[in-house]
Amino acid sequence: MKYQVLKSSIIISLLVVFCLIILPLTIISLFHHEEEPQQPLLKKGTIDAPEYINVYRHSSGITESIKFEDYVAGVVAGEMPSSFEMEALKAQAVAARTYSLSKIIRSGDGGNPAHPSAPVCDDIHCQVYRDPLELSKIKSAEWMNTEWPKILSAVNSTKGQLMYYQEELVEQPLFHSSSGGKTENSEDVFVSAVPYLRSVDSEFESSAPHQNEQVEIPLSEFIKKIKRNYSGLDTKAVNKNTIKVLERSSGGRVASLQVGNLTFRGREIREIFGLRSANFTVSVQGNTVLITTNGYGHGVGMSQWGANGMAQAGYNYIDILKHYYTGIEVYY
């Protein structure tokens, strides 16, 4: 009888311990696990960024040695609106960091031919860079208090992270403002085909500016500007029937355009007339050439407005980078 009472007491005690301690801890552990944020899984890369980078400053003509991550932050501030989503800013930080390091590696012991004392400069020849003092003058005290910390957070949270393609550092992580709905294959804009710079849809650009922008050019001025750049143009052969798009690229930009007796690449026409994009339509209405453009920039690589749209739709910076740079991985 005493044995049965003792046995019952032990069983009751074990049930109490299970109900009051073990079961609650198990439940808490399960819920805690489910609530953990999903972070991108990264692995160690083969290259580490340096502590400092030499930057040629055009305004002073001086080469400055700047902390590498500070330089990346200054590029993000110079190249992307600070109002963009955090995940878009992170994507820009990784792209800027990768580009900068690739320039250092390619320059070896020297610099760039355009600025031999440094692998990078501070304007669009490389990447636009602005230091905190410049930003405080260009922006405002309020911007420095609210937006600059946001950019620093994007850079610090991705510190050391770089893009690789087939275990090699990405050399050309190009980007542009907006694509007009689809990015370009690199060889359709520049000289060579780059495997990670492939044409992809950029569907989250509805908020991007520079959509369906119209440029009206008097026909006489249109002919004069082309003649100034290409003397072989037969002006008598130019009319509404001989100004037309002949071919488009995978990304929808003008691959070839007839003007009279000559054929041009869309990029050439863009440069002659200062168009925002080579993604355009053209028609002649009376004595006026009407050009309608979509997007802003060369269209290769990451669309910044597309990246921001993806971030607003819930994608993280790794998703964004992998979408715009085909086949890449992000390593730290």
Residue 45 confidence class, pLDDT cut points 50, 70, 90: confident
> What single letter denotes the amino acid at residue 2?
K
Q: Within 13 Å, how many C-alpha atoms sit on residue 158's CB side?
A: 32
Strand partners, 293: 213, 280
Tell me the CA end-to-end span of the chain in Å, nearest whole number: 68
Residue 191 has a pLDDT of: 85
Chain centre to alpha carbon of residue 176? 6
Contact 146, 153 (CB under 8 A): no
Nearest alpha carbon to residue 155 among 83, 104, 99, 97: 97
Percentage of the residues of the chain whose pLDDT score is greater than 90: 84
Residue 15 has a pLDDT of: 54
Model confidence at 27: pLDDT above 70:
no
**pLDDT tens, 51-69?**
999 999 999 999 999 999 9
Model confidence at 285: pLDDT above 80:
yes
Model confidence at 247: pLDDT above 50:
yes
Residue 38 confidence class, pLDDT cut points 50, 70, 90: low
Sequence-separated (6 or more) residues with CB below 8 Å from residue 182: 199, 200, 201, 202, 250, 251, 252
Model confidence at 10: pLDDT above 50:
yes
Model confidence at 41: pLDDT above 80:
no
Give Dmax (Cα) for the chain.
120
Strand ranges of the sheet holding 120-121, from the earlier edge strand across to the other edge: 62-67, 52-57, 120-121
**pLDDT tens, 143-162?**
999 999 999 999 999 999 99
Please name the residue ranges forming H helices in 121-170: 132-138, 141-156
Residue 253 confidence class, pLDDT cut points 50, 70, 90: very high
Model confidence at 103: pLDDT above 90:
yes
Mean pLDDT of all residues belonging to the chain: 90
Lowest mean pLDDT among 3-17, 192-206, 269-283: 3-17
Residue 230 has a pLDDT of: 96
Taken in order 132, 136, 139, 144, the sign of the CA dihedral is: positive
How far is Cα 235 from Cα 239, in angstroms, rounded to an integer?
9
Output phi, psi for 40, to 5 deg: -60, 140
Residue 40 confidence class, pLDDT cut points 50, 70, 90: low
Model confidence at 18: pLDDT above 60:
no
Contact 148, 77 (CB under 8 A): yes
Residue 150 has a pLDDT of: 98
